Structure 1
Amino acid sequence: MSFRVRPVGRAVTPKSTMFSVPIGEMTLTRFSYGIEVDLDSFDADAGKVLVLTTLRGATRHVTANAAEQEVTARQTYVTDCSRADYRLIADPDHLQLNLTIPHGLLADLALRWWGHVPDDRLWRHGCVVGGEGSPWLALLAYASRTAAAAPDAVSSGRIGEHLEEMIGAQLLEDWARRAQLDLESRPAVTAPRYVRLAAQYAHEHARELPTVLDLAQIAGVSARALSGAFGKYLNMTPRSYLIEQRLQGVYRDLSSGHTTVSATARNWGYVNLGVFASSYRRRFGELPSETLARRTA
């Protein structure tokens, strides 16, 4: 996700450090700019949620309505850059442990766990979650230690898949609580069970190249009914949902570093590498080879 970063005050040389590891589709990053900085212009089209934990120093978080909140050590601020304008000011001593999470991942998880996708009362609510002694901080510490000890297993293995789901679920629960939403309560419009069945099957079997008819059969409805329901509850067609699951699978495999672009494309059913590379670049903003190179560097 692109954004703009500027030094604050008299020009000084940054003393930046950054270490990054994927956890499934999430990215965990430990970094510091080494100077006071002001960040804004986060790309809304990238569809990312930022979960920013301050380990040292202090950060200030500014939302669209100009509300500002200071976050100090061992506090976490969450904001959805695809739904709300956001600005971050970090003091010279800041040290961050941040998660970058696709909005779609959290929406999918909410659908599968709670049967509905929260509305903008959640996504537009930037706030602090967790806190000293919270399950959230304990989970974040576990994720960090596991990623340090077994980065490959976390980036693309079963451990990473389960850890990704644990982080997403805990984040959604804490976030919803701060937004005064109850994920367990049924909203006026709840995605029916057949939509959740189809989404779950697509998520788990994307490598097998199921068709829309396959999803409809699993869901026990017609392809037309399924298409209408996906448009209503997920704002996309079943075909688009299947494509997204395949591309996310490719991204996870390339992020592991133990593969090649051509082999990964074939494993996920892509025959024309040119078409594949173009689709991948539109989705992730970089070529497949760039994802692989970043992991193997």
Structure 2
Amino acid sequence: MLETALLQDGSGTPLLRDTLTATREWSVVNDFCHRAYMPLSTHPLTAGMDPNATIRMLDIGRITFSRFCFGTPTRADDFDPDSGNIIVVNTLRGSVRHPVGGNDAIDTRPGDSYVVDCSRTQYWNLADGDDLQLNLTIPHKLMEETAARWYGFVPEDDLWKKRLIFGAGQSAWLSLLDYATRSLDARHDRIGDPLTERRIEEMICLELLRNWAQASGLNLETGARAAAPHYVREAERLMRQSAEDAPTITEIAARLGITARSLSEGFRRFRGLTPHEFLSAARLDALHAALRAARPGETVTAIARARGYVNLGAMTARYRERFGESPAQTLRRGRH
């Protein structure tokens, strides 16, 4: 999937035939990055190394698609927050390291997608030099418009500030991007039909919003969640922070000075789910991160039991439902 994205249209005709699509000049790479993403800084990890970059870029509606790699290990940082842009990095080859919560970082590997709103939070990445990415640059304003149109409200920065991985393997998200890029027409280097472009733009923004919200534990079905009180948001923070310790809902409520019943009612009203459901998702996310970062010799059983899982069969079923793969598959992917 996506092997020919921005290389050929759906009929196999080459795209961008009269456009510079590769370079060994840093000045050209930096100019491309500024146009495709936003003003930023690049630093080769080995001083004096020239790039061997792929730089292909096409627009579908207000979304910029780019097929990109530096071709040498590189750090990119100082992404300009005034750009107002969201970046989605879809890793096709190699690996790219990104920040997530706090001081933590995570590597995206083939099939992974990572989203960051550079207008709301700082961002940097480390590319291994053998990587290849299909990136999307989406105006934050466009995502707000999509949320308001479909759900009747605009999420607060609790969502937009979250930097996270979503999707895995042959996900529905990647299938949508494959469809979008195959819809391009090499005769015009775009889709050509404005109505079709707008529909694809809408589908991409809506699917991204759903994936982003789901991975963040946010229920979009009721706009009331945007006004969630402090104790609900604080409970979410505590549950994410202590997910590996498997706290009970009663313990979380006690730390907030409220009853478990009040906490449950708050989650039901403002999040559309129970605190237990949110905590279960947070624990699975912590397990997923631990499996990705496992050291040689560590097993799924040992990692899961260290995080309070006793019924490994039930855990595996919930894990597969959330991530589209088994814990053992995640562990193997993390070691490659």
Q: TM-score range by the shorter chain?
A: 0.5 to 0.7
Q: Please show how residues 2-21 of structure 1 align to structure 2 within 5 Å.
A: 2-21=39-58
Aligned to 2:114: 77
Aligned to 1:26: 63
Matched, 1:39 2:73: no
Aligned to 1:112: 149
Query: Deviation at 1:64?
Result: 7.0
Tell me which amino acid in the other structure corresponds to 2:45: V
Whole-Å Cα distance in 2 between the matches of residues 103 and 151 of structure 1?
Answer: 27
C-alpha contact 1:24 1:154 (8 A) present in aligned 2? no
Q: Please show how residues 125-164 of structure 1 align to structure 2 within 5 Å.
A: 125-147=162-184, 149=186, 153-154=190-191, 157-164=194-201
Q: Please show how residues 1-297 of structure 1 align to structure 2 within 5 Å.
A: 1-63=38-100, 65-147=102-184, 149=186, 153-154=190-191, 157-187=194-224
Aligned to 2:16: none
Whole-Å Cα distance in 2 between the matches of residues 77 and 22 of structure 1?
Answer: 20
C-alpha contact 1:64 1:84 (8 A) present in aligned 2? no
Whole-Å Cα distance in 1 between the matches of residues 165 and 191 of structure 2?
Answer: 26
Query: Deviation at 1:55?
Result: 0.4
Query: Deviation at 1:118?
Result: 0.6
Secondary structure at the aligned position of 2:147 is classed as helix
Whole-Å Cα distance in 1 between the matches of residues 188 and 214 of structure 2?
Answer: 31
Query: Deviation at 1:150?
Result: 6.6
Query: Deviation at 1:10?
Result: 3.8
Whole-Å Cα distance in 1 between the matches of residues 123 and 196 of structure 2?
Answer: 32
Distance 1:8 1:184, change over 3 A: same
Distance 1:153 1:19, change over 3 A: closer
Whole-Å Cα distance in 2 between the matches of residues 134 and 25 of structure 1?
Answer: 23
Aligned to 2:327: none
1:132-173 alpha-carbon deviations (Å, 9 max, x no partner):
132101101111222265755537611111000000000000
C-alpha contact 1:61 1:69 (8 A) present in aligned 2? yes
Whole-Å Cα distance in 2 between the matches of residues 179 and 83 of structure 1?
Answer: 15
Distance 1:57 1:151, change over 3 A: farther
**How many aligned residue pairs are there?**
190
Q: Which runs of 4+ in 1 moved over 3 A?
A: 148-153
Secondary structure at the aligned position of 1:154 is classed as coil
Whole-Å Cα distance in 1 between the matches of residues 58 and 185 of structure 2?
Answer: 9
Distance 1:11 1:137, change over 3 A: same
Higher CA-based Rg: 2
1:93-134 alpha-carbon deviations (Å, 9 max, x no partner):
010100000000000010000000011111000111121132
Tell me which amino acid in the other structure corresponds to 2:210: E
C-alpha contact 1:24 1:155 (8 A) present in aligned 2? no
Query: Deviation at 1:188?
Result: 5.6
Query: Deviation at 1:65?
Result: 2.3
Structure 2 unaligned regions, length at least 5: 1-37, 228-336
Structure 1 unaligned regions, length at least 5: 191-297
Sequence identity of aligned pairs in percent?
38
C-alpha contact 1:75 1:129 (8 A) present in aligned 2? yes
